Structure 1
Amino acid sequence: MTKKVAVILSGCGVYDGAEIHESVITLLRLDQRGAKVQCFAPNIAQHHVINHTTGEEMPESRNVLVESARIARGEISDVRDLDAADFDALIIPGGFGAAKNLSDFAISGAACVVQPDVLAAAKGFAEAGKPVGLICIAPHLAAKIYGEGVSCTIGNDAGTAAALGAMGAQHVDCTVSEIVEDEQRKLVTTPAYMLAQSISEAAAGIYKLVDRVLELTH
């Protein structure tokens, strides 16, 4: 039976949106495994816009849903319309957009607030006992979705791991090619570009995450 997977994007570009390599690798692996995918994003303004050639902020405004549509080739919906009942699993790629647009973790750290529509959608999967995959920096959302005691990884960065701990998550150090699974909650996480030095390194862990998320739908 074909599995239906929702993917929440956070814009387009590592510094102010969804990490493009992580997003495409996720979509590629889901397609290779025969899953049916629907992309979603919040219909909100980005936190800011970054010039990806210089790293400098640009004096303009962009919409997260509109920018995410670039990665999804136009096939994207507002995350407020995402109902866990319609899908078997959820995956959220990383990139700074996950910590700037899906929440304000990049600014507020452990005191961050998650965008309400994103949080409601993700909690729907958690409450239904459906598997969720969080990639790169996206695992900072875990404690907000599941509450205290959830196990996850962002790799081995001590400062970020400490922030996750302050939020109530249990951080597990993890190499770039591996995954961490919270079996009780059906949550799978992998470091990807928190550690990856190449696209193939990022793919190694993301492929394992996608495969395990799909296994957990059975």
Structure 2
Amino acid sequence: MAAVRVLVAPRLASALLPLSRYHRAPSQRAALHSSAPRPGARVALVLSGCGVYDGTEIHEASAILVHLSRGGAEVQIFAPDVPQMHVIDHTKGEPSERESRNVLAESARIARGKITSLAQLNAANHDAAIFPGGFGAAKNLLCCIAPVLAAKVIKGVEVTVGHEQEEGGKWPYAGTAEAIKALGAKHCVKGVTEAHVDQKNKVVTTPAFMCETALHHIHDGIGAMVKNVLELTGK
């Protein structure tokens, strides 16, 4: 299982209100009360299948979508159009022999069909990109576990996967912190309801299902992460 991680790419936007000889400029007070609502942040959500053991962690993806919706974000969902590394029978936690699935097609289950191939994602069209956790992020996007994604691509980045000790099984994937450090990134200890913001690199992470805890704590942590992402976009 993996922490949710976010890569934020700020965009600059400007708006001009043309004035013509037929219209007088409104007063400052009138302009204040008649101004149009600010557009929401444009966020790319990158999925890696459907199901924690071979794709995207569904609860994490759903919580992200809920918090983005509440934050007024405009969301476009992407996934790679490639075969899954393998298919896991989630009742047994074991690979299903002779069964194959497509990552994009499986991710479309979560996206309710509204999804685009990852090959068509253009960073210039988005203010941020969010990668939910799940083993699919490791198996179908990279060769390592998902929380290491930012550490692999951004030198010296600060991220969190929660605590660095298992603490009697509460943090079963705590060893991931050492993998992050081995890549030259900084691991920051955080609780499951918290998010860590790397202001320099504009990366926000939260432990999510790295912690064995009640679902609402996971949901709260993801909410903190999304809130910080939207604040970084300035939207």
Q: How high is the TM-score relative to the length of structure 2?
A: 0.77
**Corresponding residue number in structure 2 for 1:164:** 180
| Cα distance between partner residues in 2 of 1:17 and 1:46 | 8
Matching of residue 195 in structure 1 with residue 211 in structure 2: yes
**Corresponding residue number in structure 2 for 1:116:** none
Residue identity in the other structure for 2:157: V
Deviations 1:155-193 (A, max 9, x none): 124421111111111111111000111110110000000
Matching of residue 139 in structure 1 with residue 178 in structure 2: no
Find 2:73's aligned residue among 13, 31, 35.
35
For the residue of structure 1 that corresponds to 2:205, the secondary structure is strand
Structure scoring higher RCO (CA < 8 A, sep ≥ 6) equals 2
**Offset of 1:199 from its aligned partner?**
1.8
**Corresponding residue number in structure 2 for 1:115:** none
Unaligned runs of 5+ in 1: 107-137
**Offset of 1:70 from its aligned partner?**
0.3
Deviations 1:85-110 (A, max 9, x none): 1111111100111111111114xxxx
| Cα distance between partner residues in 2 of 1:217 and 1:97 | 27
Find 1:96's aligned residue among 123, 135, 153.
135
Residue identity in the other structure for 1:42: P
Is residue 162–residue 206 contact of structure 2 (8 Å, CA) maintained in 1?
A: yes
**Offset of 1:196 from its aligned partner?**
4.2
For these two proteins, the number of residue pairs brought into alignment is 186
**Corresponding residue number in structure 1 for 2:224:** 208
| Cα distance between partner residues in 2 of 1:3 and 1:156 | 31
| Cα distance between partner residues in 1 of 2:63 and 2:153 | 24
Aligned pairs (5 A) from 1:31-70: 31-59=69-97, 60-70=99-109
My pick for the range that moved more, 169-178 or 191-200, is 191-200
| Cα distance between partner residues in 1 of 2:96 and 2:160 | 32
Larger radius of gyration: 2
Find 2:195's aligned residue among 168, 172, 179.
179
**Offset of 1:42 from its aligned partner?**
0.7
Q: How many percent identity over aligned positions? A: 54
Find 2:125's aligned residue among 83, 86, 89.
86
| Cα distance between partner residues in 1 of 2:183 and 2:56 | 23
Residue identity in the other structure for 2:152: K
**Corresponding residue number in structure 1 for 2:157:** 150
**Corresponding residue number in structure 1 for 2:114:** 75
For the residue of structure 1 that corresponds to 2:106, the secondary structure is helix
**Corresponding residue number in structure 1 for 2:10:** none
| Cα distance between partner residues in 2 of 1:39 and 1:145 | 21
For the residue of structure 2 that corresponds to 1:152, the secondary structure is strand
Q: List structure 1 segments (4+ residues) > 6 angstroms apart after TM superposition.
A: none
Unaligned runs of 5+ in 2: 1-38, 165-173
For the residue of structure 1 that corresponds to 2:233, the secondary structure is coil
| Cα distance between partner residues in 2 of 1:200 and 1:47 | 31
Find 1:14's aligned residue among 47, 52, 55.
52
**Offset of 1:32 from its aligned partner?**
1.1
Is residue 196–residue 202 contact of structure 1 (8 Å, CA) maintained in 2?
A: no
| Cα distance between partner residues in 1 of 2:200 and 2:125 | 22
Is residue 147–residue 176 contact of structure 2 (8 Å, CA) maintained in 1?
A: no
Residue identity in the other structure for 1:192: A
**Offset of 1:198 from its aligned partner?**
2.3
